[in-house]
Structure 1
Amino acid sequence: MSTLWYATRAQTIWAVEDNQSWYDKVQRMLAEQGRQNLNYLFTQEKEAYVSFGESSPEGFDLIVVDGSYRSACVLQGAKLLRPGGILYLDNSDMDVQPEGGDMRVAESHLRDLAKTWKTIPVEVTDFVPGLFFVTQGMYVQRPLVKS
């Protein structure tokens, strides 16, 4: 439901989905709310999924990686993030894959970006609004000037 949440709070959002039933559900809810401030794509092709935001002329202030191909999306997101922007890896505690799984690789990429950008990765653990369980996320902020 993060797409709906952001659609009510951001001027413009871009979102990509590879689960047809979820995409259809969110599309219906967006239409019911009359939301037109987003570019929302359904694709099951990895290349189209990962490269989705490349056509944004301005880049992005916030990129939330919360779906498939997380490690590839973190790398791509770093290229599209505007100075001062935040790259957030959601639910970074959810992957039970061993070291080398996609979530762990995505975390590693985020930590490497933090080193490159001379910043600190931040881990956030908190309750999910409306649900009674704790989840973790991790983010880095791109410096205002290129490092």
Structure 2
Amino acid sequence: MKEFLLYVRFAIDYALNNKTLSHIKQFIRWYKDKKSGDTTLNRRSPWMTYDAVDFLSATCRPGMSVFEWGSGGSTLFFASRCKQVHTVEHDPDWKDFLNKKIEELDLKNVSIQEIAGKPIADFNERDYRNPDDFVSKDKKSAGLSFEDYVKAIDTFPEEYFDLVVVDGRVRNCCVKRAIPHVKKGGYLIVDNTDRSYYLAPFPELQDPSKWKKTEFQGPVFFQHAFSKTSFFKKA
């Protein structure tokens, strides 16, 4: 009953604020998953809204190249469906744990690059909303710059990737760096875009002549809070 009431609370809140009821249909799926004891890692699933995961399942193809900031179930998901997956992870312990999973599953098409934040002296002078400042508002990341983490994608040519997934640190900074690296016809995917500052600096993503936007709002595996995942297909 507690889970049901929490779901109803968030469902009503989302309906009022986002003028959509599309997430209601996912209640049974969310409820069963909440009781399952599973994780996104053993499910090999992205930790995104259910509709976003379904959209990705229909979109991924064996010949695709993927770049992602932030590793986890999504890394295993893409590795089982796409040609190659390049992942950047800021947490060394999580990277080591995930690497063991990749070895156990004998996945040969995944590379994980560990790039932690670096201490900087002018952290308090920077703004997490500025995509050129490379800092996070997360308390655990205080005092750190994620510039090297963000710029890891620059080792690849422009318009190289079929999918670029932004689901880690300093996401607005990653979005800016990702845009030129998405192929025509490819997707830029940004999770948790209910945090408006992720996309606010990029009006070009709202231009239908340049990008086709598809968004999915609603429940997320094993979470009570609802979220939004945004897909931008490059024209």
1:122 to 191, 197, 214: 214
Q: One-letter code of the match for 1:52?
A: A
Question: 2:205 aligned with 1:113, yes or no?
Answer: yes
Q: CA RMSD in A?
A: 2.1
Unaligned runs of 5+ in 1: 96-103
Structure-1 separation of matches of 2:222 and 2:149:
28
Hey, what does 2:141 align to over in structure 1?
none
Q: One-letter code of the match for 2:175?
A: V
Identity %: 27
Runs of at least 4 residues off by over 6 Å: none
Aligned partners of 2:204 and 2:210 also within 8 Å: no
Q: Please state how far the C-alpha of 1:135 moved relative to its aligned partner.
A: 3.2
Matches within 5 A, 1:18-97: 18-45=90-117, 46-57=146-157, 59-93=160-194, 95=195
Q: Please state how far the C-alpha of 1:47 moved relative to its aligned partner.
A: 2.3
Structure-2 separation of matches of 1:26 and 1:55:
23
Aligned partners of 2:189 and 2:230 also within 8 Å: yes
Aligned partners of 1:110 and 1:139 also within 8 Å: no
Aligned partners of 1:122 and 1:139 also within 8 Å: yes
Q: Cα gap change, 1:119/1:59 in structure 2, threshold over 3 Å: closer, same or farther? A: closer
Hey, what does 1:6 align to over in structure 2?
78
Structure-1 separation of matches of 2:201 and 2:208:
10
Aligned partners of 2:172 and 2:198 also within 8 Å: yes
Q: Deviations over 1:76-120 (max 9, x none)?
A: 110100111110101223x4xxxxxxxx23222454323284444
Hey, what does 1:137 align to over in structure 2?
229
Q: One-letter code of the match for 1:123?
A: E
Unaligned runs of 5+ in 2: 1-72, 118-145
Structure-2 separation of matches of 1:72 and 1:56:
17
- Considering fraction of residues, name the structure with more helix: 2
Tell me the matched-pair count.
Answer: 133
- Considering fraction of residues, name the structure with more strand: 1
